[in-house]
Structure 1
Amino acid sequence: MRSVNRLLRCCWLGVGMAAFALGTAGIVLPLVPTVPFYLLAAFCFAKGSKRLHAWFESTKLYQKYVVRFNRGGMTWQAKLKTMALVTAVMSVSACFLADNRMGLMMLGGAWLLQGAAMVFFVKTRKREAPTARGALTK
């Protein structure tokens, strides 16, 4: 029984490390999303190791990309920028699928789902105003 638990914890940690690596790559690569991979990493680390989960939550990357998202969602401006990037990337993909109707329909469906998720599922928060010190507040 203990070996099964240990194996399961190792699997959680492995998936968490992979998600963390992909999320970190997403900071630089526009095609790879950052927040979903960091959320997955946090979940996996919580399942695999309390100490690793606590460390991950204290990192600057987690604080910058996940905490603000979890607290209040995204501003409309951030949502529009995200959808513009998704549209641009999918447009390039659509050029390669010009002769494949099924592929184009699937790509269009994915775009519609992304838009619906932005409108109906991702919380919208008001734009943040700078304080006297120049820091952003909630």
Structure 2
Amino acid sequence: MRLIYLSIGWLAVGIAVLGAFLPILPTVPFLLIALWAFGRSSERLHQKLLNDPVFGPDIKRWQERGAIRRPAKILALSAMLGSVLLAALLGVCPPILAVQALVLASVAVFIATRPES
């Protein structure tokens, strides 16, 4: 089981690293998955994520208060709106566009209602 959790953790870290450079991929949610997986497989890697100078504070805010920084909220909400607008401009089939808009609107409501840190 330990190997499975380690694999999940490293996969999530890899996706998070991509997300740091690609605006369409979120970073912190994948780091939270990695934190969960490393918490079940490697205390050293778990602590390393929590103590990371860049992402550690955001992870701790989420764990302690479910809080998201305002700039991160604005970036996430803007990226979601941009995604729907781009899909519309590219002429995505209306039913698919409607599903995309509904899913992203649901996620946007969740993000917008989280406390700010």
TM range (shorter): 0.7 to 0.9
In the alignment, structure 1 residue 43 sits paired with structure 2 residue 36: yes
Bigger RCO of structures 1 and 2 (CA < 8 A, at least 6 apart): 2
Separation in 1 of the partners of 2:55 and 2:70? Answer: 22
Separation in 2 of the partners of 1:17 and 1:47? Answer: 13
Separation in 2 of the partners of 1:99 and 1:17? Answer: 34
Say whether the 8 Å CA contact 2:50–2:59 is kept in structure 1. Answer: no
Say whether the 8 Å CA contact 1:79–1:118 is kept in structure 2. Answer: yes
Separation in 1 of the partners of 2:50 and 2:92? Answer: 46
Q: How does the TM-score come out when normalised to structure 1?
A: 0.71
In the alignment, structure 1 residue 103 sits paired with structure 2 residue 96: yes
Say whether the 8 Å CA contact 1:94–1:107 is kept in structure 2. Answer: no
Separation in 2 of the partners of 1:79 and 1:54? Answer: 25
Q: Which runs of 5+ in 2 are unaligned?
A: none
The match for 1:28 is 21
Separation in 1 of the partners of 2:92 and 2:51? Answer: 48
CA-to-aligned-CA distance 1:64-100 (integer Å, 9 cap, x gap): 442244445134454233211221123223333x251
- TM alignment of 1:21-100, pairs within 5 A: 21-72=14-65, 73-96=67-90, 98=91, 100=93
The Cα of 1:11 is off from its aligned counterpart by 0.8
